[in-house]
Amino acid sequence: MVRVDDYLYLIIGIAVAAVALLAGLVTTRSRSGGKRVERGGGTDVLAPPEPHVGEDAETPRDTPTRTVEDADLPVLTEPAAPTLERPESAASRLVRLRERLSRSQGGLGRGLLALLSRDRLDEDTWEDIEDTLLTADIGVAPTQELVERLRTRMRVEGAAASPVKDVLREELVALVDPTMDRSLHVDRHDGKPGVVLVVGVNGTGKTTTVGKLARVLVAEDKQVVLGAADTFRAAAAEQLTTWGERVGVPAVRGPEGSDPASVAYEAVKTGVEQEADVVLVDTAGRLQNKAGLMDELGKVKRVVEKQAPVTEVLLVLDATTGQNGMVQARVFSEVVKVTGIVLTKLDGSAKGGIVVAVQRELGVPVKLVGLGEGADDLAPFDPDTFVEAILGDGA
């Protein structure tokens, strides 16, 4: 006979088994991560499991988690145009010229004034004046000329009739020679741009001077083209290109070691095509022998003039080399017809007398002077400003 308790245990067992079976099905479906989709014929199948995205989960490479439309794509914009620099005007350059020359050359003026202001100008005093001028690199002939003129005026006029400072100023200005034409001939002529050849040995700041001169001309609203014809120094072309980019001036260059004349030709051709006002050509500064230098610069000049006449040949000299720079000046003046001189590094240790010496040696004027490392530290040379700076404001 079956007892009630036995039925009760049987029912409980069946219930436990049913619960266990149901739990197993739920667990299997949960682990598969799938969901049912309806397939043709009414058959349900599990779709590919959805990826689990968590901090430690790895997203399958072939399973995109976001659509292109939802992605935060970078916004593509046109590159910003470089900000062009506005070079300093000639007027403000002249103000700084005087300030810097007063600091570097004022000792010469003060020394001369102290000697000339003595109660008695004897032979020893005149010898001291002569030594002071020679030390300033003025040169023997200009020094003797200046001393003789000072002696005459001081003897005839006397210190009471003409203040010593005025006498010295007048004689120094006359020595520097204000009658020389110091203008830059860079204007267009007959529909062609002016062409400036810049020459000088490497190390004088020649390429930098070309870049700074471009800024001087841009400040005067000139349209400028640069020619990097110093093809034997890769850095020269790079340097000149950078100078041009800063003020929006194009630079024509060629491969390293290419023919300088061909680069100069293309630069002038570009200047003609673009109707530029002036083309500045930086030439090679190798000084291994005069014959080679003459051949190279002569070829550059001949080739350039097939496009437009050369209106200026500027010789760049390092003022700190003093009388040693005169050797370079003589060589270049024999090779090409130099029309003007650019004296770099006239501030600091340079001696201002080199202005007089180089003009006397070459018979051509100093047209520009460099007074520092700044981009606008190249200024037109003015004799009156130069002499005033030497004498100093408080002299």
Residues flagged as binding site for GTP? 200-207, 282-286, 344-347
Q: CB–CB of 347/96 below 8 Å?
A: no
Kindly list the distances between the CA atom of residue 154 and the CA atoms of 28, 150, 177, 204, in Å, as whole numbers in the listed order: 121, 6, 21, 40
DSSP H or E stretch at residue 130: helix 123-135
Give yes or no for a contact between 186 and 216, defined as CB atoms under 8 angstroms apart. no
Task: Kindly state the helix (H) or strand (E) to which residue 16 belongs, with its residue range.
Answer: helix 4-32
Say which residues have a Cβ less than 8 Å from residue 251's Cβ, sequence separation at least 6.
225, 226, 227, 228, 237, 240, 241, 243, 244, 245
Known binding site: residues?
Answer: 200-207, 282-286, 344-347
In degrees and rounded to multiples of 5, residue 340 shows phi and psi of: -165, 160
Spatial contact of 157 and 167, defined as CB atoms under 8 Å apart: yes
Q: Rounded distance, CA 253 to CA 240, Å? A: 9
Q: Provide the phi-psi class of 330: left if phi over 0, else alpha when psi is between -120 and 50, else beta.
A: alpha
